[in-house]
């Protein structure tokens, strides 16, 4: 592990942060309605075949044609509705009217769509005339084609969206075993900060980062604990961090991520537990702090809002996701062409550019860069719908170059 205060690359930081990625949460059982956006605590095996029997995918007529493939007229001998529990057999040369979801009788070869058939009366008996060329098995949903008894259909660690919860319901389960929510405490640091709504005197600024981070956490299966603002007072910081480490599983802050004389958070972390301070070869967002107090993990992000959010996306969010029981997974960028150019740039560091997607005249999505690069520009985050990545080896950007792009929507931010 790199020594404290050392400069490390983005990839080295990821490698070291991943060492903290194990989930230590207990398991609880919740009803289906409370399982959305939680994390599956066990592999879920299908408890039955879905569908439980062959059934019709359409309204129409189920046919048993047999060897006479030229036959197109069939007597209608019965009709079958969804939920019909009879054990029916369709004899060769017969048809039954069938409705979507109804069980297909034994002996059936295919279902012909209602709108493709003609109903006629022959010698006082209702018959159906079907078109030629209907293939065997057409419009029949086979037993277990969705899920087979014993299949792993939702793996442990899966974030439960509406489709996953529906799978449990389709298997007849009314509860789901999930990991308990990670309790994440969020606070800001510094005497210069005041709460929105208060008077901001000379030298004071309103605390926006806490709201930025709380908003970024809302897409994760966590309970957010707002810890307010920590003043620059060693005794207060010590007392509040001690209590917060008992109440929370993870502490997240912006500001005070260095290890200088006035960085009381870092001093307290070293006193009560352990702390490591890194300078990352990235822009924006160089300083990053990791620490532990007992079983509570801590990550300190830079104080400037853009740097704080960039660090959250790249380092805090994957770690928090893993601590919630999911896989440690980095954002997966797509490649889009730049609508801008950048002259010679400093190599050896990874840079994250605020961009938004725009549609070019040819219909292709392109990346439009924000007008400024400052890491304190909150307006740049409101402008952007994602970030473009300039890797360490890139010396310049020409218009049209393909750049890795991470959409804010992929990392749980609206936009």
Q: Which CATH class is domain 7-25+181-323?
A: alpha beta
Given CATH 2.40.340.10, say whether it is the number of domain 334-407.
Answer: yes
The pLDDT value given to residue 117: 95
**Is the model's pLDDT at 171 over the cut of 80?**
yes
Contact 176, 160 (CB under 8 A): yes
Q: Delimit the domains of the chain by residue range.
A: 7-25+181-323, 28-50+146-179, 55-141, 334-407
What HEC string does the chain produce? CCCCCCEECHHHHHHHHHHHCCCCCCEEEEEHHHCCCCEECCCEECCCCECCCCEECCCEEEEECCCCCCCCEEEEEEEECCCCCCCCECCCCEEEEECCCCECCECCCEEEEHHHCEEEEECCEEEEECCCCCCCCCCEECCCCCECCCCEEECCCCECCHHHHHHHHHCCCCEEEEECCEEEEEEEECCCEECCCCCCCCCCEECCHHHHHHHHHCCCCEEEEEEEEECCCHHHHHHHHHHHHHHCCEEEEECCCCCCCCCHHHHHHHHHCEEEEEEECEECCCEEEEEEECCEEEEEECCCHHHHHHHHHHHHHHHHHHHCCCCCCCCCCEEEEECCCECCCCCCCEEEEEEEEEECCCCCEEEEECCCCCCCCHHHHHHCCEEEEECCCCCCECCCCEEEEEECCCCCCCC
Per DSSP bridges, beta strands 402-407 and 386-390 are antiparallel
Q: Which CATH class is domain 28-50+146-179?
A: alpha beta
* Domain 55-141: CATH architecture, name and number where available: Beta Complex (2.170)
pLDDT 10s digits, 249-305:
999 999 866 655 567 898 899 999 998 989 999 999 889 999 999 999 999 999 999
pLDDT digits over 60-83, tens only? 999 998 878 889 999 999 999 999
Report pTM.
0.88
Does the pLDDT value for residue 119 go beyond 60? yes
Instruction: Tell me: pLDDT of 346 over 90.
Output: no
Question: Residue 415 pLDDT more than 50?
Answer: no
Percent of the chain at pLDDT exceeding 90: 83
The pLDDT assigned to 260 comes to 59
Return the minimum-mean-pLDDT range out of 124-128, 378-382, 384-388: 124-128
State the pLDDT at residue 123. Answer: 79
Cβ–Cβ < 8 Å for 124, 76? no
């Amino acid at each position: 592990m790199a020594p404290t205060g050392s400069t490390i690359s983005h990839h080295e930081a990821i490698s070291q942060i991943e060492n903290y990625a194990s989930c230590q949460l207990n398991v609880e059982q919740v009803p289906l309605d409370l399982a959305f956006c939680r994390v599956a605590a066990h592999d879920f095996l299908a408890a039955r075949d879905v569908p439980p029997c062959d059934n019709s995918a359409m309204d129409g007529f189920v046919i048993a044609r047999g060897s006479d493939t030229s036959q197109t007229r069939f007597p209608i001998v019965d009709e079958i509705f969804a939920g019909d529990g009879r054990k029916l057999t369709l004899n060769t040369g017969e048809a039954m009217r069938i409705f979507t979801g109804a069980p297909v009788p034994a002996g059936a070869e295919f279902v012909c769509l209602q709108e493709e058939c003609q109903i006629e009366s022959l010698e006082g008996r209702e018959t159906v005339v079907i078109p030629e060329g209907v293939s065997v098995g057409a419009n029949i949903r086979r037993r277990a084609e969705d899920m087979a008894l014993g299949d792993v259909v939702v793996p442990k660690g899966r974030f439960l969206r509406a489709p996953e919860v529906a799978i449990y319901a389709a298997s007849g389960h009314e509860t789901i075993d999930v990991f308990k929510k990670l309790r994440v405490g969020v606070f800001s640091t510094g005497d210069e900060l005041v709460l929105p709504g208060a008077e901001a005197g000379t030298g004071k600024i309103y605390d926006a980062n806490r709201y930025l981070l709380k908003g970024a956490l809302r897409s994760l299966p966590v309970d957010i604990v707002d810890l307010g603002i920590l003043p620059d007072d060693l005794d207060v910081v010590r007392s509040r961090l001690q209590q917060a480490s008992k109440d929370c599983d993870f502490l997240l802050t912006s500001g005070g991520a260095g290890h200088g004389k006035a960085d009381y958070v870092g001093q307290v972390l070293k006193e009560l537990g352990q702390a490591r301070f890194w300078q990352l070869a990235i822009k924006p967002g160089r300083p990053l702090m990791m620490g532990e107090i007992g079983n509570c993990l801590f990550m300190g992000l830079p104080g400037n809002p853009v740097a704080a959010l960039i660090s959250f996306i790249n380092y805090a969010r994957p770690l928090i996701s893993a601590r919630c029981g999911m896989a440690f997974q980095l954002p997966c960028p797509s490649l889009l062409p730049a609508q801008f150019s950048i002259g010679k740039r400093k190599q050896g560091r990874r840079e994250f550019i605020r961009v938004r997607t725009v549609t070019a005249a040819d219909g292709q999505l392109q990346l439009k860069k924000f007008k400024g690069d400052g890491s304190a520009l909150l307006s740049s985050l409101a402008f952007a719908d994602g970030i473009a990545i300039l890797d360490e080896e890139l010396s310049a950007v020409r218009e049209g170059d393909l750049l890795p792009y991470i959409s804010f929507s992929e990392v749980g931010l609206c936009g």
